[in-house]
Amino acid sequence: MSWPPIAWQTKLGRRVAVVIVLVLAACAPAPVARDITPPAMPPAESMEPAVRAQFGERRALLDRVLDDPEATDADVAWALGQLGRLFHAYRHLDQAQWCYAEAARLDPDMFEWSYLLGHLELVIGDADSARERFEHARSLRPEQPEPLTLLGRLARESGAFDRAEAHLSEALEHDEENALARYELALTELASGRAADAIERLRRLLEEQPDAFQLLHSLAEALRSVGRSEEARSILESIPASAIDRVSLISADPWMERLTALPVSVTAMQRRGRQALMAGRLPAAMRAFRKSEAVAPERRDVRFNLATALFQAGRGDEAESHLRYVIEHFPDFDGAHRLLGRHLLRSDPEAAKALLDQALALDDSIENHLALGDWALVVDDPVTAVGHYRNALAGTPRSEDAHVALVRALALDGDHDAAEHALAEAFDVLPAKRASTYLAPKPNRLTWMAVRFEATTAPQAARQPRRLPSQPRTPFELETAAMVRAAEGDFETALMLQRRALADYPHPAGDERLARYRTGRPAASPFAPTDRIRVSSRRAVAPSRNR
Amino acid sequence: MPRQSSFFTIAPAAFALLTALACSGGRPDQGSTRQAVLIERTETAGIDFVHENGGRGDFYYVEIIGSGGALLDFDGDGDLDLYAVQGAVLGTHDAGARGNMPRDRFFRNESSRTESSSTERQRNATSSLRFVDATDAIGLDQRGYGMGVATGDFNNDGWVDLYLTQLGANILLRNVQGKHFEDVTAQAGDGALAGRGMSTSAAFVDLDGDGWLDLYVVDYLRYDLASDKACFDMVGLREYCGPQSYAPARDSLFRNRGDGTFETITTSAGIDRDGAGLGVVTGDFDGDGRIDIYVANDQAPNHLWMNAGDFTFVEEAMIRGSAVDGQGRAEASMGVDAVDLDHDGDLDLHMTHLISETNTLYRNDGDGYFEDVSLQTLLGTQSLRWTGFGCAFFDLDRNGWLDLVVANGAVRADPTLRSDGDPFPYREPNLLFLNDGGQGWTEVGHTMPAFGPLHVSRGVTPGDLDNDGDLDLLVFNNRGRLQVFENPLRTANPWIGLSLIDRHGRDALGAKVTLRGSTGKLTRWLRTTSGFLAARDPRLLIGLEPVGLTPSVEVVWPTGEVETWSALMSDRYHRLVEGTGDPGAQEGRP
């Protein structure tokens, strides 16, 4: 016996079909009504348009998903997570935490929500919860070093050094170059009494990131912990005050990088631009500042920072219009007078002098004295320059910029004794190791200047082959290295180095030195008016506006 | 050999408890086993001071910083009077008639002061804290934009004087025999004594042991209203700027010439570094007998000016491990206090910081070198969520271990409060940490109804307002009312109170006291600076539990003289006058 075939067109058939559909529908993962009330949005009317659009877009996405009967939990989690990331990026932490937590609850298999939530909880001091989030994230993506590194940090901070080391070692198995994991491992070694290992690890990291103050500080602490206090002191004292805390350890974290790239407000763009400027990434800085200018062309910091980036990029004429705008609308801001004055130094010294005088009248600051000193050198008046540099030093005795400028001005004035005396004073105040010891942990401009003096005013002392303070990179350092080699009689190397320097920065005094090396003569003097010594770009940037 | 310290060597179980308490993002939900004890008495005590920060929508930077106040015995009647520092209306906004303009206020303490009545109060759980507004009565008419205040008898006439820090010129007020204050700024020093810009905290301290109080003034930024800048938050809303929008200022040091006038010695003393300073604390950090100066700088490395003698100082914070945190990051330091937290006889340091930074606890190794141990305690982890300003260690429960109050208040608007329509969305909860006998901390502020309403708190100062043998508390709130908290302590824990009076008849600021008993030793230092912009009770109130009932009391006077007292009765205040104790070993000054 067999069942009669069901004819779909019959009444019975239609009934059976309806039942099947209903059963299937009942078995399918049907959307359920979700009791989700998203956090309040920032007041839209006060936000910048671009930010408002960002929030509106992500909120609309969430609303659409919540209204969509076909949307799955993962869909809702995704939309919540995106909104959470935006809140996180704009530092609305309570709102971000709520969004991430909901997203992680609805889609526990998504690495990103747990990881970002752990990050956020770490920042607000909820270490236990953060640990759980990172453990979960690690279980989802065991190959990622980031959660392991943070688990290691948490373990170290709680005194569980063995566990910390295990986490960090595992992180390094996945990414042996991971700077943060290596740094954390060094701190763990230090905390667990293995200072020698920590010192070695920190030294290796410093070779890769020589400007990271965090590393220098930790190295000094490690040295101190084993009684090598003088070395520690030497390291700490060699760091210019301006550099402290400016350059942190750089370690890649793609999730956090994506997060920090999200904000588009003027404040965010300004921050991004400043960071780029300090890192010497001028095109990126200009891009960020131009975006700010498009939104807030009336803001002083926006126009000034853009001008600074343009000026440093050699586009002084473009910078000038922005500076003139700032001077017109914010006449009490000395920075614009100073920068415009610097721009006009050579093309219109008279106008430059007026601007720089005005800047000094507005603020009797080291920067303005330095600028006036530079102007005096341009008009071939080293005596006046020396006066300004001394004024700058009187106000800020530990300014490396001012010491460098003073030594150079005295040398240009032909008073090498005074210049060397000033250099000695600089080393007293900024006790980086003297050039002759070549032990400066991070050679600064003063060290290189001292090398120049040794190579030119005491050539006999330089006859012995010398180790340079570090690999020469800038034109100033390359030319200094050339002077040393020429003083040693190695003119072939000196010529090579001098050519490299001139390729980056052609100038008459450099050409003259090249000619001397060709004929087997060492450099005649340590400095010439056209020598360009690196000026700290940090000073040119408008300060951070917000905490 | 490493020194053993019960406080910093936390047993695993105790650490587990601490970390458990640290969860929930700041304010733990778990019930505390320790009872919080402070009760707000502001209204019944007669205090009606409301701080005017000048905020009218202009976001002047100065609005968000102040303010503080002082506890001092102005009239020499044995109880603590109150000086409250006021802000002002700023810019072009109409301040109204002069009579209605905000001004500093002085409240005279009229609380009952007898032993029996205080005992009765404890029994009846009532309060007799009473203050009356005596601003007019003493002819006080200070209407500048005030920030903080330091207390000290600079002219050795036996009456405690005030140094007021302000936006603009600072003011030295001489206490004229407990009758009124007289502005003697111009007579007592050169123009630098008044200063300019934006001073914050200040400290009277005898730096050379000559018996005359010198003065250290913390200057914050090169700022005035004309230089104020417009800043915006991440979404483009107006917001207060940060300190890096302005150039940091240099602090000032004034030497007392020995006749009540001051000589500016900032440069000759070697104070040659700028820093956006907010808090200051003085003490002998390296145990060499000289008083050093520690300055908490905002978003810049802190300064530790080591006293090299002859009024010369060398900045050594970086080398000594207290300039930046344990990972080399300069933090936004605000308030600072220094006490012997682990009972090893040296000064440890605690600083308050911005949200997302720990409040930082530096452990002193005894030689003036510090280690950041913040993350090993609840003090660090619990603070990450808030922005701390004032802080003060005091023995709230009189068990001989110092507790800690932290006054919080944001400098960036809280998005949630702003969304809720809060007109001043910077409020945060204050924190009160009880010291669990050196084994850890318990935060009890969240259990206290009195700490429930949120404020934007700044200065905080403890003192025994009703002379009942326990420490009460004042909290100064920005754009809010000054709060008075009474400590209705009901414990039999023995205590001793000490007034340390030098040969000139004034509080011997800088004196070091060591109590030695059958069960241990306690060390305290006398100073009146209190964390941030505030001045505290000039007496020491010490719980005796760790040392036993009748300890010997050794005082090292600022001159270096050492004296001891024995068999002092517990549970009462004693007035120890220099020259009346048993001579001890001479410490002297190197």
Residues in B 346-375 with any Cβ partner in A closer than 8 A: 354, 356, 358, 369, 375
Mean pLDDT, chain B, integer? 89
- Partner-chain contact B242 A216, CB within 8 Å: no
Residue A215's contacts (CB-CB under 8 Å, 6 or more residues apart) are A183, A202, A205, A206, A209, A249, B328
Least confident window among A18-32, A51-65, B314-328, B471-485: A18-32
> Where is pLDDT greater, at B456 or A507?
B456
| pLDDT attached to residue A542 | 42
> ipTM of the assembly?
0.81
For the stretch B343-390, pLDDT in tens is 999 999 999 999 989 999 999 999 999 999 988 888 888 899 999 999
SS3 content of chain A, % helix, strand, coil (to 5): 70, 0, 30
For residues B334 and B370, the answer to whether their CB atoms sit within 8 Å is no
**What percentage of chain B carries pLDDT values higher than 90?**
74
Asked if the model's pLDDT at residue B408 lies above 50, the reply is: yes
- Partner-chain contact A215 B376, CB within 8 Å: no
| pLDDT attached to residue B10 | 35
For the stretch A49-66, pLDDT in tens is 999 999 999 999 999 999
Q: What is the pLDDT averaged over residues B34-55?
A: 89
CA A288 to CA A290: how far, in whole Å? Answer: 5
Which residues in chain B are closer than 8 Å to A236, comparing Cβ atoms? 318-319
CA A430 to CA A432: how far, in whole Å? Answer: 6
Which residues in chain A are closer than 8 Å to B19, comparing Cβ atoms? 127-128, 158
Indicate the residue of B232, B244, B419 with minimum beta-carbon distance to A543: B244
Indicate the residue of B19, B25, B236 with minimum beta-carbon distance to A48: B236
Residue in A closest to B24 by C-alpha: A126
Judged by DSSP in three states, B163 sits in strand
Residues in B 404-423 with any Cβ partner in A closer than 8 A: 411-412, 415-416, 418-419
CA distance, residue B226 to nearest chain A CA (Å): 9
Residue B498's DSSP bridge partners are B540, B574
Strand order in the sheet with B582-583: B520-525, B512-517, B552-556, B562-565, B582-583
| pLDDT attached to residue A4 | 43
Banded model confidence at residue B468, pLDDT cuts 50, 70, 90: very high
| pLDDT attached to residue B4 | 36
Judged by DSSP in three states, B473 sits in strand
CA distance, residue B67 to nearest chain A CA (Å): 20
Which residues in chain A are closer than 8 Å to B327, comparing Cβ atoms? 187, 214, 217-218
- Vertex A249: Cα angle to A248 and A253 (nearest 5): 115
Which residues in chain A are closer than 8 Å to B231, comparing Cβ atoms? 267, 545-546
| pLDDT attached to residue B28 | 36
Asked if the model's pLDDT at residue B20 lies above 60, the reply is: no
For the stretch A272-283, pLDDT in tens is 999 888 878 899
| pLDDT attached to residue B584 | 72
Which residues in chain A are closer than 8 Å to B23, comparing Cβ atoms? 126-129
Judged by DSSP in three states, B529 sits in strand
Q: Is the dihedral of CA B502, B507, B510, B511 positive or negative?
A: positive
Residues in A 74-113 with any Cβ partner in B closer than 8 A: 89-92, 94-95, 97
| pLDDT attached to residue B114 | 42
pTM over 0.90: no
For the stretch A433-443, pLDDT in tens is 443 333 344 55
| pLDDT attached to residue B25 | 34
The dihedrals phi and psi of B207, each to the nearest 5 degrees, come to -80, -20
For residues A535 and A528, the answer to whether their CB atoms sit within 8 Å is no
CA distance, residue A139 to nearest chain B CA (Å): 22
CB proximity A69 to B under 8 Å: no
For the stretch B48-79, pLDDT in tens is 999 999 999 999 999 999 999 999 999 999 99
> Where is pLDDT greater, at B339 or B118?
B339
Which residues in chain A are closer than 8 Å to B323, comparing Cβ atoms? 244
CB proximity B11 to A under 8 Å: no
Asked if the model's pLDDT at residue B18 lies above 50, the reply is: no
| pLDDT attached to residue B483 | 98
| pLDDT attached to residue A19 | 56
| pLDDT attached to residue B588 | 46
CB proximity B382 to A under 8 Å: yes
Indicate the residue of A97, A127, A543 with minimum beta-carbon distance to B19: A127
Asked if the model's pLDDT at residue B16 lies above 50, the reply is: no
| pLDDT attached to residue B167 | 96
CB proximity A425 to B under 8 Å: no
Q: What is the pLDDT averaged over residues B254-275?
A: 94
| pLDDT attached to residue A249 | 80
For the stretch B511-560, pLDDT in tens is 999 999 988 999 999 999 999 999 999 999 999 999 988 899 999 999 99
Q: What is the pLDDT averaged over residues B31-36?
A: 50
CB proximity B235 to A under 8 Å: yes
CA A275 to CA A212: how far, in whole Å? Answer: 14
How many residue pairs bridge chain A and chain B with CB atoms within 8 Å of each other?
163
CA distance, residue B543 to nearest chain A CA (Å): 31
Indicate the residue of B231, B233, B381 with minimum beta-carbon distance to A127: B381
For the stretch B143-184, pLDDT in tens is 999 999 999 999 999 999 999 999 999 999 999 999 999 999
Q: Nearest CA to B435 among B427, B426, B444?
A: B444
- Low-confidence stretches of chain A (pLDDT beneath 70): 1-34, 238-247, 430-444, 458-467, 533-547
Residue of A46, A90, A546 for testing the chain B interface, max B β-carbons within 10 Å: A546
CA B351 to CA B333: how far, in whole Å? Answer: 6
Q: Nearest CA to A235 among A23, A432, A58, A518?
A: A432
| pLDDT attached to residue B473 | 97
